[in-house]
């Protein structure tokens, strides 16, 4: 078995990296979808819905952080950076499941936990002291450490790229026309009731010809949130060279 690194200063950077990776994963699962869902909602007019959504999103994120280390004492971030959660008095033993959850109860006050981690000589935060655990790292060769960092960077870049593409599409003229067209469809209003929000892009594609003011084609799957129900609308648009965007087909 590889030798464990017990010096706190040797693990601080890796623990911060692991936390960032775990934070991005939780964000993708919870916060980012919530932000996209309420992107076009007037918060002042829908303050109760917004507050409930924020509370639910925060609760789900907190639960994910509570359970993130239960698989062999490692979250995905810890896996990438070669870290383990072990019992404080026996570094060869993985803590019981309830202790792995217990150590993350104070994640909600992570700034305090971070300060305690930096100041503690053994690199233990409050959660570790309550659960009698400690994070240890295994001596790994530089190639493996670099691989973990590369995966973390690629993961971050892909996340930024996906969000950028969504924002670019949502600012395109074709998408704005699609949303406006959907809002004016009486058949959709009759099915969902009063439309509370329309503008969440679930998936789609957008393409232009290479010539200036050339032709274009777009297909979007847009979530419509209504008073009675929610509905996914598929809409296809086209644009001839030198003309304006028009709706070719809509389905729901």
Residue 130 is predicted with a pLDDT of 92
Q: What pTM did the predictor assign?
A: 0.56
pLDDT in tens, 191-203: 888 888 787 777 7
pLDDT in tens, 31-62: 666 655 554 444 445 566 667 777 788 888 88
Residue 148 is predicted with a pLDDT of 57
The residue ranges of every structural domain in the chain are: 4-165, 172-251
Residue 1 is predicted with a pLDDT of 41
Residue with token string 């777009």: 218
Residue 104 is predicted with a pLDDT of 93
* C-beta of residue 117 within 8 angstroms of C-beta of residue 65: no
Residues in the chain where the model's pLDDT stays below 70: 1-10, 31-50, 138-155, 210-214
- The CA-CA-CA angle for residues 238, 241, 246, to 5°, reads 25
CATH 2.40.50 fits 172-251, yes or no: no
β-bridge partners, 83: 137
Residue 9 is predicted with a pLDDT of 58
Q: How many angstroms separate the CA atoms of 37 and 53, rounded?
A: 10
């Amino acid at each position: 078995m590889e030798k464990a690194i017990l010096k706190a200063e040797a693990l601080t950077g890796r623990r911060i990296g692991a936390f960032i990776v775990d934070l991005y994963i939780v964000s993708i699962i919870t916060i980012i979808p919530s932000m996209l869902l309420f992107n076009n909602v007037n918060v002042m007019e829908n303050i109760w819905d917004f507050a409930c959504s924020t509370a639910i999103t925060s609760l789900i994120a907190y639960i994910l952080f509570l359970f993130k280390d239960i698989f062999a004492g490692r979250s995905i971030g810890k896996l990438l950076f070669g870290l383990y959660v072990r019992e404080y008095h026996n570094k060869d033993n993985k803590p019981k499941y309830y202790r792995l959850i217990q150590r993350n109860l104070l994640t909600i006050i992570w700034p305090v936990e971070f300060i305690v981690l930096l100041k503690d000589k053994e690199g233990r935060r409050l959660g570790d002291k309550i659960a009698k655990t400690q994070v240890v790292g295994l001596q790994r060769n530089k190639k493996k450490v670099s691989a973990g960092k590369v995966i973390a960077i690629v993961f971050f870049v892909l996340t930024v790229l996906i969000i950028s593409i969504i924002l670019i599409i949502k600012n395109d003229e074709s998408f704005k026309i699609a949303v406006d067209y959907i809002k004016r469809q009486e058949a959709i209003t009759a099915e969902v009731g009063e439309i509370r929000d329309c503008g969440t892009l679930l998936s789609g594609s957008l393409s232009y010809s290479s010539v200036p003011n050339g032709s274009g084609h777009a297909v979007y799957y847009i979530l419509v949130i209504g008073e009675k129900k929610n509905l996914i609308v598929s809409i296809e648009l086209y644009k001839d060279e030198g003309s304006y965007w028009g709706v070719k087909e809509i389905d729901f």
